[in-house]
Each structure stands twice: as structure tokens, then as C-alpha cells.
Structure 1
Amino acid sequence: MTSPSLLPEGLRDRLPPEAEALGRVRGAVLQTTELNGYARVDPPLAEFEATLLGRLKSSRSTDLLRVIDPISQRTLALRPDITAQVGRIAVTRLAHRPRPLRLCYAGQVLKVRGTQLRPEREMCQAGAEIVGTDSVAAVIEAIRVALDALTTAGATGLSVDLTLPDLVPLLAAGPMPVADIEAVIHELDGKDAGALAALGAEAYLPLIEAAGPVDTATAQLAALDVGGLLASRLDGVRAIAAAIGDRATLTLDPTERHGFEYQSWIGFSLFAEGVRGEVGRGGSYSIVHPDGHEEPAVGFSLYLDPIVDAGVAPEGRDRVFLPLGTDDATAARLRADGYATVAALSDADDAAALGCTHIWATNALQSLGN
């Protein structure tokens, strides 16, 4: 028989103090985005499969966990990502709002399966989207707000890895045609020079070398003789690098496509010191309107669980033990000052055992560490 305490693979309980830490990280990210002018939306955990798939270009059905709705008898999908839902809201219920439209969110997402690096299937995702433009200025704002949010959430040693998701299709349609573009993209993802040569795509070999610090990478890309086709993208990357400055380490991998299937001209991954794997990603993309036309957008998504797992979340509140007989006014005053209060329910209650950092005694606050 299955143990009543056993959870499905990739799912877990968050216990104290990690659950509280996740709440603090989520609150820090939402506060940062809202202070930058983003209005919060809160989409449902599940919606019709067709709606969830049809809003972003290149959305993948393989990521969806499906159930049959007993009311409508239609297929529902649990969201593996919230970005598509924000896009749906932007082009339907908020289609009348002036652009650029700034929206932020936070919530749980569920994937069909985890990865070797990140086996968790459920995670907390938070982020922000700018709908109506994918300009360089919008990308700079998205990266800046993402870095602000991560810093407020306690992350340090931040780095941003930029990529140009549509670079290969752009070159293949112009000066560097290939017979099998998908195969070329696959081998570039794996940085397999030999396989590229076997495909007759030697012209793409310099793209593998053009990965590293932004200044070096852009110089190598600019040296390619492609008739100025990359000029606007490289100008955009240089503007991003100048705007971010020393706030984060900036690199460029021009051919990275894994995980950037629906991004257009620019994508980025976010990393933090001491945190396993990436802590977020974002970039430019298109949202499909009900009438079929596309609207540009830029945004980012942060994955909050790795920040908590790494132990870099903001510190929690000090907890004050209130012995029996402590009056309500004292308790209220302490809470107003930012403390959490733990009231004794019997003489046997122990402040240290209850995780308190202070005790209220003789009309004064005393540290249990003294």
C-alpha cells in the first residue's frame, strides 16, 4: 500500500522555516515589481488546454499535465508557466488598456516532469511582463527590474547570460542558407563543431567561438561578413550592457536556444552566486490576439525555490515569547514594531523550544541569546 505521507515524484511539502522564507522571497519580488509600476494579475492554476497553448508562439504541449473537466467535459491543463496566462489576459480582458502595459504575477506552476538539474515538478514562479513593445529600452527595464527583484530577495553575485534566439533562422534565410536548419540549431546548442561540418554548415562555426563576455562576443559577431544583418541586434546588446554596467556580470551566447523556444530577438538567463542552476529567464516574444495578429512583449520569470534552497532568502522576523498574563496592548505594540509574537498557552510552554529569539519579561524585551 502507498504510504499516506508519500507524495508523487517531483512534489514536496515546504515546512518551517523554508515555507516562510519562500513567502518572504515572493513578497520581495512582488513588492519590487509593483514599485516599478507593474500591476498584479492572478490567473487560475488551470484553464482549457487550447487556450493555454494558443496564446504564445511555439508553446509546447509536452509540458502540460492534463485533466478532464467534469463540468464542461473539455480538456484542462495545469499551467507549467504563467507567462502564457498573462499574455491571454493582456490581449483579451485588458486589450483596451493603453500600451505599454506592465503586469506582474506570482504563483505555483506544475510541469509534467523535472530535469536532471532540477527534478522538482512544482515550483513558485514570479515575474513581470511589458506588453506592447519589445524595444531595447523595454528589455533594459525588464533586466533591471529582475536584478532589483533578485537583490531584494537576498540573491547576490548576479550574472546575466544573453542570447539571440532568432539568430540562426535570420542568417539561414539570408547570407548563410542551410539544408536542415533544425539540425544546425540542434548542433549549435550542443556546440558540436564536427557535426556542423558534417551538415555542411561550416559558416556557422564562428558562432560557437563568439560566446563569452559581451564585449568580446559582440566584436566577434560584428566581424562576420553578413552584410550588416546583425547590426541592430548587436547595437541592442551593447546598449543593454552599457545600461546594466557593473550591476551584474554580462555574457553573450548567441546560439543558445534551449528553453528560449518562444523568444524572438533577445533572451536572457539569470544566475546568482551559491544558487543551483538559473534563477530566472526572460526576453522578447509575441502574444497572439484572438483575431490572429501578434503583439510584441518583453518579460522575465524568476524561479523562487532555488533561492530558498540555497539559504539566501531575506531574514525572517524575530519571535518574541509572551508569558501568561502579558496584556494585549503590549503584544499589539510589539507586532507593530515588526516582531512576531508567540503567546504562552500554559506555564509549560518554553520560549526556546517554540523557536523564539526574545522574551517579554519585567516589562522589557530580552534576547534569548544573552
Structure 2
Amino acid sequence: MTALLPEGFRDRLPPHADAAAAVEARVLEVARLHGYERVDPPLAEFAEALGTRLKAGALRDAVRFVDPVSQATLAIRPDLTAQVARIAATRMAHHPRPVRLSYAGPVLRLRAPELSPARERRQIGAELIGLDTVAAARELVGVAAEALAATGATGLSIDFTLPDLVETLARGAMPVDPAQVAPLRDRLDAKDAGGVAAIAPAYLPLIEAAGPFDAAVARLRAFDRTGALATRLDGLQAIADGVAGLAQLTLDPTERHGFEYQSWLGFSLFVAGAPAEVGRGGTYTVVHEDGAEEPATGFSLYADALIASAPERRRLFLPLGTSPEQGRALRAEGWVTVAALEGDTPEAQLATHVWRNGAAEAVG
């Protein structure tokens, strides 16, 4: 036998597995208290159907195989949001709108980017389906911030983006040849001033309209001489006001990477100690079986990303002879107790405290 695992996979050992489970439980509890009821989709489904609900081209990230029962091609989900959208559009199509759903479970990618080598992760999130309003987006961003605070994360930062900003301007106030919209969007995303100048010099100020939220919004308002973005910026300001004091806020209006299927709003979530984003969200549309589209807003978090360092253990060693009643009382106070067995020691059980003389004493 070998302990080797495929590339991109790993075992979650104590105390990391416990910490990840606690993160998941706390996020879902915050969502539940805000009215988001949990759904639990299957790990795999028909590849063709799943592909229609994933963002463009995302099925290439899915592990596919032939089902020996149906002989159809199945896909293991690379993202849970698409499955929640399917449930809302089919099994819960009759449910009064908006419908609030939460979820958690493993996702698997065929390949992973170099900077994030894990192919299997646990995704946690919430979706509000049936409304495309500032109030709905404000609620979701607030739930995400509250959920992260409940995990014990500190130094929350939210980076907002406006994924369809270029398309909106190009169709109206600042016309651009339709064939040049995608290249322009890509050059703005890359902050390539020379590339933007070669396509549409009038869009150059958007590169500078990024940074701390208030200053970035002010620059965008100054850029928007025709008022084409006024309503959008007012809505964005209202969303930001909802988490004022809870997070540091920034804005990068032309950021597109990872927001390809978002509509007018996207946001990335960062916390202190994590080397990269711990989640993201935004507005998007759910496609029904008849082709009709329904607006939605949601966010996803990844438990592993929230555990940047080894979690602290807090284990209380109960020497032989400690009564069961005493153990129950200590657990009710929040202690994790480890009852001694023959030959046991606090060190062997990785205990941080020992119960002596009616008190918990720190080991060492």
C-alpha cells in the first residue's frame, strides 16, 4: 500500500479537518438565520445538462466518465452554483420568488491553475434567486461579510467590480465597434494602457478608476459625464454602505477574470492571513428549461482558504478517576475533553490543559 495521492488531492488531518468543518457549519448557520435553506445536490450529473448551466467553457474543467448503468456521460461538478441554479429552475420552479438557498459540498476540477494547485475543494455558499435589485445584492454581500466574521476571520476586504461595464458603455454612451468590445474588455482587465489606447482611447480613465472604494467611485462619477452609469453607481454605493465598518472596500470596475458569467455586479472576498481570495460572488442569470432567464445573486466561500495556518487546539485532559458528571459539565462549558485511559498522558493526547484540583491548568 502507498500513502501517495493523485496530484491536486490531499488528506485533511486533525486539527485542519475539524477547523474546516467548523468553518462550514458557521457559514451555513449564518445563512440559515437569514432565511437561506440548505440544498444538497448530487456529486455528479449528466455532463450535457450540467454544461448548459456552467459558465461558458467551464465543462472543460469537469472530470467526465461513462456511467456503467445509463451508458451516458456524467460529470463530477467543478462548481456547485450551477447545480443550485438547476434546482431553483426545475425542482423549485413553483416556489414563490425570491427563493433563498444555501449549500456546501466537495467540487472537483480536471486541472487546477498553478497558483491554486488543489483540484478538490469544499465549496460553501448562498444564492438568492428571483430578484435583480440593489436590495438583494446588498443582502447577499452583508450575509457573506457576517458569515466570514462568524468563522473568526479578521481583516475582511471586499473588492467590487462591474463585469458588464464595458459592454454597457460600448452599446450606448461610448460606442465601440462590436468586434472590438471583447479585445477592449481584455485590455482593460489587464490594465494595458497601450492596448486600450489603440482600440478606444476614451476608455483609458477606467484603468485609473481602481483602488479604495470612495476614491474609485468618485473617479467613475467624474468619468461618467453623460450619467450613463449614475444608477449603477448609486446602487453600488448602497451595497457598500450596507457593509460599512465591517470590511475594507475597494473597486476595480473593469476586473473580469473569474467573473465571466456575472452580470452587473461582482465581488471578491479577502481576509487577513489568507494568501489569496477566500471567496467571490455577484449577480447572474439562471436559465430555465424553456430558455427563460431569471436573475440571481450569490456568493461562494472555500473552507480551506480560510484556514491559513494550523488551527489552535484546546483540549482538556481528564485524569483517571474524573467523574462522568464532571466531564459533562466541562463539555457544557465548551471544553473538548479527553478522558485518560490506561497509560495515557496529556502529552500523548496533545492536550493543552489538565484538570487538576478542580481547575483547568495549562500544560507546560
- Shorter-chain TM-score category? over 0.9
Secondary structure, counterpart of 1:335 in structure 2: helix
Whether 2:50 is the aligned partner of 1:55: answer no
Aligned pairs for 1:282-301 (under 5 A) are: 282-301=281-300
Aligned equivalents of 1:291, 1:226: Cα separation in 2:
40
**Equivalent residue for 1:76?**
74
| Contact 1:106/1:126, CA 8 A, preserved across alignment | yes
Q: 1:59 to 1:228 in 2, by over 3 A?
A: farther
Distance 1:270 1:225 in 2: 27
The question of whether the paired residues in 2 share the 8 Å contact of 1:322 and 1:343 is answered with: yes
Residue type at the aligned position of 2:129: V
Write the distance in 1 (CA, Å) between the matches of 2:229 and 2:196: 21
The 8 Å contact of residues 78 and 107 in structure 2, kept in 1 or not, is answered as yes
1:169 corresponds to which of 157, 167, 175: 167
Of 126, 131, 144, which aligns to 1:133? 131
- Please say if residues 59 and 262 of structure 1, whose CA atoms lie closer than 8 Å, have aligned partners that are also in contact: no
Q: Give the equivalent residue in structure 2 for 1:224.
A: 223
CA distance in 2 between partners of 1:211 and 1:366 (Å): 52
2:315 aligned residue: 319
Verify the 8 A CA contact 1:279 1:303 in the aligned structure 2: yes
Q: Return the offset for 1:361.
A: 4.9
CA contact (8 A) 1:56 1:87 kept: no
1:345 aligns with 2:344: no
How far the C-alpha of 1:5 sits from its partner, in A, is 1.1
Aligned residue for 1:248?
247
SS of match in other structure, 2:152: coil
Q: How many residues align?
A: 362
With over 3 angstroms needed to count, the CA separation of the structure-2 counterparts of 1:240 and 1:266, relative to structure 1, is same
Secondary structure at the aligned position of 1:16 is classed as coil
Gaps of 5+ in 2: none
Distance, in Å, in 2 between the alignment partners of 1:82 and 1:10 is 19
Structural mapping, 1:1-370, within 5 Å: 4-56=2-54, 58=56, 60-174=58-172, 175-178=174-177, 179-198=179-198, 200-224=199-223, 227-311=226-310, 318-346=314-342, 348-361=343-356, 364-369=358-363
CA 1:319 to 1:215, structure 2 compared with 1: closer, same or farther past 3 Å?
closer
After superposing on structure 2, the runs of 4+ consecutive aligned residues of structure 1 that deviate more than 6 Å are none
- Please report how far the alpha carbon of residue 210 of structure 1 lies from its aligned counterpart in structure 2 after TM superposition: 1.0
* Structure 1 unpaired stretches of 5+: none
Displacement, 1:13?
Answer: 0.9
Given that 1:352 and 1:368 are in contact with CA atoms closer than 8 Å, whether structure 2 keeps it comes out as no
Q: Deviation of residue 322 (structure 1)?
A: 3.3
Asked whether the 8 Å contact 1:117–1:277 carries over to 2, the reply is no
C-alpha distance in structure 1 between counterparts of 2:84 and 2:110, whole Å: 21
Tell me the SS of whatever aligns to 1:334: helix
Deviations 1:153-200 (A, max 9, x none): 1111111111111111112222321332221121111111112223x2
Question: What TM-score does the superposition give when structure 2 sets the normalisation length?
Answer: 0.93
The 8 Å contact of residues 8 and 120 in structure 2, kept in 1 or not, is answered as yes
Q: Aligned equivalents of 1:104 and 1:216: distance in 2? A: 34
In 2, Cα distance between equivalents of 1:359 and 1:103? 43
Q: Percent identity?
A: 56
How far did residue 365 of structure 1 move? 4.0
Note if contact 1:147-1:158 (Cα within 8 Å) is conserved in structure 2: yes
Please report the TM-score for the alignment, with normalisation by the length of structure 1.
0.92
Root-mean-square deviation (CA), in Å?
2.0
